[in-house]
Amino acid sequence: MREWFAALERPVELLVGLGPEATPRAGSRDVDFGAEMVRVCEGLAELGENVTCRVEQEPEGFPRFPAVSILPDGRDAGVRYDGLPWGYELGSLVGAIVEAGREEPTLRPDSLAALGELDRDLALDVFVTPT
Amino acid sequence: MLLAFRCAFASERIAATAIEANEFPQLSQELGVWAVPRIVVDGEPRWDGAVPEPEFLRRLLAA
């Protein structure tokens, strides 16, 4: 991960939002999700100079907590992870950081062309689990 | 999940959020999340499961 983060072409900020948390499914009630989120994101920020972490209480635009917004160059790109990205999902957060740190997107040219034709806003939610 | 993030980074028209289903069980129940990944577009469940990039884009833009 240090090599990936060292290759980032622009800074990436992780904005961690903490606040009132939902009651998770049974079996995970003893986990302090907010504290774990801070630990994970601060740990990632220690792996590269271009990755930083900021923690705020109930930042604007965060409907659920804990959550982390991935900000390329400090800009809100509409990319957020709600809940603790643990297990295999840690890879999704790391991948988002790497993508955010690129000057050019890695989608196929035909995908970029199709997105360029988009004439309305779309909110895409992807439900995931750690396994 | 990463494909959704890539779309959002590539287009200012798209916002992409990953939601950890176990941590938000009420929302997951409301949207009938029984399999993951479940893809929801503008609040409407659309499909379950990972698909290749061209198919992902086709389904997303048809939503």
* pLDDT tens readout for residues A27-56: 666 788 999 999 999 999 999 999 999 999
Which residue is closest to A94 within chain B, CA to CA? Answer: B2
More confident residue, A86 or A103: A103
- The pLDDT of residue B48 is 94
Angle at the Cα of B58 from the Cα atoms of B52 and B63, rounded to 5 degrees:
125
Of the candidates B34, B50, B42, the one whose C-alpha atom is nearest the C-alpha of residue B17 is B42
Q: Per CB distance under 8 Å, which residues of B are interface residues toward A? A: 1-2, 4-28, 31, 33, 36-43, 53-54, 57, 60-61, 63
Q: Which one of A126, A129, A131 makes the best mutation probe of the B interface by having the most chain B beta carbons within 10 Å?
A: A126
φ/ψ of A127, rounded to 5, equals -85, 130
Range of weakest confidence among A100-104, A127-131, B40-44 = A127-131
pLDDT at B58 over 80: yes
How close A46 comes to chain B (CA, Å)? Answer: 22
Alpha helices in A1-131 (DSSP H): 2-6, 33-45, 90-100, 109-116
d(CA A106, CA B48): 23
Q: How does the average pLDDT of chain A come out, rounded?
A: 93
The CATH number fitting domain A2-116, selected from 3.10.129.10, 3.40.30.10, 3.40.50.150, 3.90.700.10: 3.40.30.10
- Whole-number pLDDT of residue A69: 98
Q: Are A69 and A62 in contact (CB under 8 A)?
A: yes
Lowest mean pLDDT among A24-28, A55-59, A115-119: A24-28
pLDDT of residue A24: 73
Average pLDDT value for residue range A56-83: 97
- What is d(CA A104, CA B1) in angstroms, rounded to the nearest whole number? 19
- With cut-offs at 50, 70 and 90, classify the pLDDT of residue A119: very high
**What pLDDT does residue A27 have?**
64
| Total Cβ atoms within 10 A of residue A29 | 8
What digits encode the pLDDT tens for the residues B3-47?
999 999 999 999 999 999 999 999 999 998 988 899 999 999 999
The answer to whether residues A49 and A65 touch, using CB atoms and an 8 Å cutoff, is no
Structure-derived torsion over alpha carbons of residues A80, A45, B2, B9, reported in degrees to the nearest 10: 60
What pLDDT sits at residue A28? 62
Structurally, at CATH architecture level, domain B2-62 sits in 3-Layer(aba) Sandwich (3.40)
Contact call for B15 and A82, based on CB within 8 A = no
A58 DSSP assignment: S
| pTM given for the model | 0.94
Taking CA A90 as the corner, what is the angle to CA A58 and CA B53, rounded to the nearest 5 degrees? 105
| Closest in B2, B25, B60 to A96, CB measured | B2
- What was the ipTM of the complex prediction? 0.96
Question: Which residue ranges make up each domain of chain B?
Answer: 2-62
Report the DSSP beta bridge partners of residue A68. A16, A81
> Considering only CA atoms, which of A122, A24, A62 is closest in space to residue B43?
A122
A86-99 average pLDDT score: 93
